[in-house]
Chain A
Amino acid sequence: MIITGAEAIIESLKNENVDVVFGYPGGAVLTLYDALYTSNFRHILTKHEQGAVHAADGYARATGKVGVVIATSGPGATNLVTGIATAYMDSIPLVAITGQVSVPLIGRDSFQEADIRGITTPITKHNYLVKKVEDLPGALKEAFYIARTGRPGPVVVDIAKDVFAASIDYQYPTEVKLRGYRPIYEGNMETINQVFAELKLARKPLIFVGGGVNLSDSSEALREFVEQTGFPVISSLMGLGCIPFDHPQYLGMVGMHGTYAANVATTECDLLLGIGVRFDDRVTGLLSDFAPKAKIIHFDIDPAEINKNVLAHLRVIGDLKWSIPALLHRVNDVSEVLKEQVHSWTEQVVRWYQENPVTYPQEADLVMPQTVVEKISRLTQGDAVIVTDVGQHQMWTAQFYGFTNPRSFLTSGGLGTMGYGLPAALGAQCGLPDRAVILFVGDGGFMMNCQELAIAADYNFPVKVLILNNQTLGMVAQWQRMFYGGRYSHTNIKGHTDFVKLAEAMGVKGLRVTKPEELGTVLEEALATPGPVVVDIRTPEMVDVLPMVPAGARLDQMIMGG
């Protein structure tokens, strides 16, 4: 089949079962867009390339498939950088196809030229510059393979403009041969035996689940492991949803804004099973005092995660899809013995959890942001896909939404990217048209990519955007309050923007909540409305996210609240 490079890309996308791409056209990708014109391939035109890449990321997180984004050379490609870094930090499978100036112009500072390979090298799993059309199918095949296998991540395929137009006798490779890339799926059975031996010795064990459990779709097996052992469980931000919030052994989120029980249990435990976690500094607090009494067993598909931050006594390298069932297999027979030996510990930490719930002060005439999250949690029964932006509202969502399902909480955990939420929610809704997708966003972060609201109307993505509008850059203001003597340098963002009118101008229904008594009915109305809705919810300015472990402090040195 003799076709153009552009057509070959579309064929390759079909071969990879890609059903939608997010993108924005421009000179270097004109030929590709011309091919899209007649191809019937689904393409979502965002308003900004950053919107496109976050949307592809949200799509990937919600569906488990590879997200695909297209951008032109130079400014188009550089507009992807934040989104690529966001996906990289959270291990999200993404393929970014960028146009590059044509081969004879490369390296001459030509119009709209940027070395996107060079720029994205530290924030991609791998990247390509395709200068010959013969290399195109192979590069795409490898890109998808690398993005989705092993520890997932973003891959950039930068394609010179003349490659799109060149013709090729197209054949999509059936297999990938990469000498330097061999993910370890099935690890060493001997380590499983060693873990098993440790489980039997443990008296104060703790299971710590992270984003890897979500990514590997292992939460079911994990739940069984939790139940068979009787061990208590804590979660990272990225692990929320893997264990239902109301599970009797669950102690909530650990770390900077974690629960008392999770943080103290971490400090007290004698065995910590880190499963698909990377021991981020927001989790560990003061590294040298993290889980000081515990032997740490680290489960990860990426060997480079072991001993990166926290020293592991035992490493279990391999896919969680292999390691958890393998361990479960051993545990089943001794389930009762294990439960018995940790019974009093589990009972004690669960009591800590019940006696020290995360709470907040109730104000009769103010709409407390935490109340909004709790109300949504009750209204949706944990069934919605919840997306957040970055800031206080993100942490309140993590604390007060009752997550019951994996892949139901999409948030920029690693990079903490403001502006992520709205486009990611749209991408998630695009991938899961029948699910309720709800975005919690701050008034600051909403403005960072609010242009994408237009997409919600244009494509009728029925996302519910709940702006927790405290008129400040809340999380930064909180740090200024706590650590900078209340000097609110440039965090007051009270302005003249009317979010309801903004929504309406974009073709989206806008609602507002200013009083507590309006909250219930407006939220119900928003959820019942078939199309997209923005709700501008006025919340008080000076509410803190608590509890809090100050950066660099020990996990049990928490500032409590409530």
Chain B
Amino acid sequence: MKHTLAVLVENKPGVLTHISGLISRRAFNIESIAAGYTEEPDTTRITIVVEGDEIEQEQVVNQLSKLVDVIKISDLTAVESIQRELALIKVKASVETRSDIINIVDIFRASIVDVNRETMVIELSGDETKIDALCQVLDDDHGIIEIARTGKIALSRGPIPAKDQ
């Protein structure tokens, strides 16, 4: 099973490598990892998606909690949360295929952020399956040149932030 963990850490150099190193050293599998600033300048929020059963998941949390720079970990798997990923997709496009691509983009509520004679770049945010679906259609019908995805970030619903949970 996949678990989404929100890990609040001290905003210091080396913390992200420390965390990803610890997870891989313990032979757990990282599906995705995304890091960025938070509402507090000295705190970084890392969203990690790990694959594993309950026991493995507990070990990941416990081992990560041991790191001195880890302030708080909350498991967003069980709580109601909003989960998003951002993708930039560069797709083959010609004058003839352009309008078909625009149609697809509209259906997915994605947006076109760059166009030239041979390619278009599409931006989409959403959950993983939605992005997968768009990529599938574009690749089958037009051919994808390049994809960049951020990995998942997540926030719980409701008024209580992860740091207070």
- Which A residues form the contact surface with B (CB < 8 A)? 117-118, 121-122, 125-126, 146, 178-181, 302-304, 306-308, 311
Contacts and interface: CB of A to CB of B under 8 A. Distances in A.
B130 interface: no
A266 B59 CA distance: 25
Nearest to A121: B18
B27 to A, nearest CB: 12
A190 B68 CA distance: 28
Interface of B: 9-10, 14, 17-18, 21-22, 25, 55, 58-59, 62-63, 65-72
A3 to B, nearest CB: 27
A180 B70 contact: yes
Contact of A179 (B21, B22, B65, B71): B71
B59 A308 contact: yes
B82 to A, nearest CB: 26
Nearest to B15: A180
A146 B66 CA distance: 11
A311 B14 CA distance: 33
Contacts of A125: 66, 68
A304 B55 contact: no
A122 B21 contact: yes
Contact of B55 (A117, A179, A307): A307
B62 A126 contact: no
A311 B55 contact: yes
Nearest to A303: B62
B62 A304 contact: yes
B62 A180 contact: no
A394 B68 CA distance: 34
30 contacts: A117-B14, A118-B14, A118-B17, A121-B14, A121-B18, A121-B21, A122-B21, A125-B66, A125-B68, A126-B68, A126-B69, A146-B68, A178-B68, A179-B10, A179-B71, A180-B9, A180-B67, A180-B68, A180-B69, A180-B72, A181-B68, A303-B65, A304-B62, A304-B63, A304-B65, A304-B66, A307-B55, A307-B59, A308-B62, A311-B55
Contacts, number: 43
Among B14, B22, B25, B70, the most chain A Cβ lie within 10 Å of the Cβ of: B14
A306 B70 CA distance: 19
B162 to A, nearest CB: 14
B35 to A, nearest CB: 16
Contacts of B70: 180
Contact of A180 (B10, B17, B55, B63): B10
A302 B10 CA distance: 21
A122 B63 CA distance: 12
Contacts of B67: 126, 180
Given A146-B68, A304-B65, 13 more contacts: A117-B14, A121-B14, A121-B17, A122-B22, A122-B25, A179-B71, A180-B10, A180-B67, A180-B72, A304-B59, A304-B62, A304-B63, A308-B59
Contacts of A311: 55
A340 to B, nearest CB: 37
Contacts of A303: 62, 65
A554 B3 CA distance: 34
B62 A306 contact: yes
Contacts of A117: 14
B58 A180 contact: no
Nearest to A146: B68
A178 B70 CA distance: 10
Nearest to B22: A122
Report, nearest first, the 9 A-B pairs whose CB atoms are least far apart. Answer: A304-B62, A126-B68, A180-B71, A179-B71, A181-B68, A180-B70, A304-B63, A303-B62, A304-B66
Contacts of B18: 121
Contacts of B22: 122
A308 B66 CA distance: 14
Contact of A307 (B21, B58, B71): B58
B17 to A, nearest CB: 8
A96 to B, nearest CB: 16
A50 to B, nearest CB: 23
Contacts of A181: 68
Contacts of B55: 307, 311
Nearest to A131: B13
B34 to A, nearest CB: 20
A464 B72 CA distance: 49
A78 to B, nearest CB: 18
B65 to A, nearest CB: 7
A146 B68 CA distance: 9
Nearest to A125: B68
A513 B66 CA distance: 49
Contacts of B68: 125-126, 146, 178, 180-181
Contacts of A307: 55, 58-59
A203 B21 CA distance: 45
Nearest to B43: A179
B24 to A, nearest CB: 10
Among B14, B65, B68, the most chain A Cβ lie within 10 Å of the Cβ of: B68
B159 to A, nearest CB: 22
Contacts of B72: 180
Nearest to A308: B59
B23 to A, nearest CB: 11
A146 B69 CA distance: 12
Nearest to B163: A179
B131 to A, nearest CB: 33
Contacts of B66: 125, 302, 304
Nearest to B56: A307
Nearest to B63: A304
Contacts of B65: 303-304
A180 B71 CA distance: 4
Contacts of A118: 14, 17
Nearest to A155: B68
